[in-house]
């Protein structure tokens, strides 16, 4: 496995400045150019990523089990969960809307959580580093569009039954849902993909 990683800057005691990208010996402790603290790897990267991802996983349940919208109309009050909303759109024939909401709000958060947990494992085991690095890149790319999930809910609030609606309130699931999005974004930022290659370089037992 050492073919992946014959020499590294870290092995030579060189650290990349997180702030300005300058490479300096880690023994300097602070970057001579921008005075940021130098680390060979993001400190406690896996622990932080794991803690944030597990928190997101716990909040995923209230986000989907509690109502995301409370709509009051002349026909009465109605509370919808995300999945309930998807089913309603599907039944009324709004297939594209149902698919977009299901993808952005149900599927992508689950896939992000699974990918982050898998990356934490990869940083320990170091198996198939190239595939794992690709998974990291995809997770990061999806993470940049995470806000779309929240926008979808916001648009949902605006679009749902514009006729005969007296008031629309955001339900208790919205806070959990936004927290899932923010926590998975922070988890992806905390993860240091170089750890996958560090683990891959270690001799296998
Ligand atoms: Zn610097």
pLDDT in tens, 84-120: 888 888 988 889 888 888 888 888 889 999 999 999 9
Range of the domain at 8: 1-40
Evaluate if residue 5 carries a pLDDT over 70.
Answer: no
Same domain flag for 79 and 148: yes
Instruction: Using the mean position of ligand 1's atoms as its centre, give its distance from the Cα of residue 37 in Å.
Output: 8
Ligand 1 centroid distance, CA of 3 (Å): 30
pLDDT for the residue numbered 1:
40
Does residue 97 sit in the same domain as residue 18? no
pLDDT score of 80: 82
Residues 30 and 123 in one domain: no
Tell me what the mean pLDDT of segment 172-185 comes to.
90
Please tell me the distance between residue 150's alpha carbon and the centre of ligand 1 in angstroms. 34
| Same domain membership, residue 147 and residue 82 | yes
Q: How far is the CA of 195 from the centre of ligand 1 (A)?
A: 21
pLDDT tens digit string along 126-137? 889 999 999 999
**Encoding tokens for residue 134?**
């690709």
Which residues keep their CB under 5 angstroms from ion ligand 1? 17, 19-20, 22, 31, 33-34, 36
Is residue 24 a contact partner of residue 35, using CB atoms and an 8 Å limit? no
- 8 A C-beta contact, residue 54 and residue 61: no
pTM, whole model, 2 decimals?
0.83
Helix/strand/coil percent split, the chain, to 5: 60, 10, 30
Mean pLDDT of the chain: 85
Same domain, yes or no: 31 and 61: no
Say how many Å lie between the CA of residue 11 and the centre of ligand 1: 20
Asked if residue 170 lies in contact with residue 82, where contact means CB atoms within 8 angstroms, the answer is no
């Amino acid at each position: 496995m050492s073919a992946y990683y014959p020499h590294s800057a870290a092995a030579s005691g060189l650290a990349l400045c997180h702030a300005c990208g300058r490479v300096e010996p880690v023994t300097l402790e602070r970057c001579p150019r921008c005075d940021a603290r130098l680390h060979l790897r993001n400190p406690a990267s896996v622990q932080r990523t794991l803690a944030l991802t597990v928190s997101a996983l716990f909040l995923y349940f209230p986000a989907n089990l509690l109502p995301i919208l409370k709509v009051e109309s002349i026909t009465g009050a109605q509370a919808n969960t995300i999945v309930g909303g998807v089913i309603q759109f599907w039944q009324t024939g709004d297939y594209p809307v149902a698919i977009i909401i299901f993808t952005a709000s149900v599927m992508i958060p689950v896939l992000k959580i699974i990918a982050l947990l898998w990356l934490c494992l990869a940083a320990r085991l170091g198996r198939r580093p190239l595939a794992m690095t690709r998974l990291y890149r995809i997770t990061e790319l999806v993470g940049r569009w995470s806000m779309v999930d929240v926008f979808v809910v916001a648009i949902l609030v605006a679009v749902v039954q514009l006729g005969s609606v007296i008031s629309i309130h955001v339900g208790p699931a919205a806070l959990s849902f936004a927290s899932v999005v923010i926590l998975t974004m922070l988890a992806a930022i905390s993860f240091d993909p170089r750890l996958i290659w560090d683990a891959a370089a270690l001799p296998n037992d």
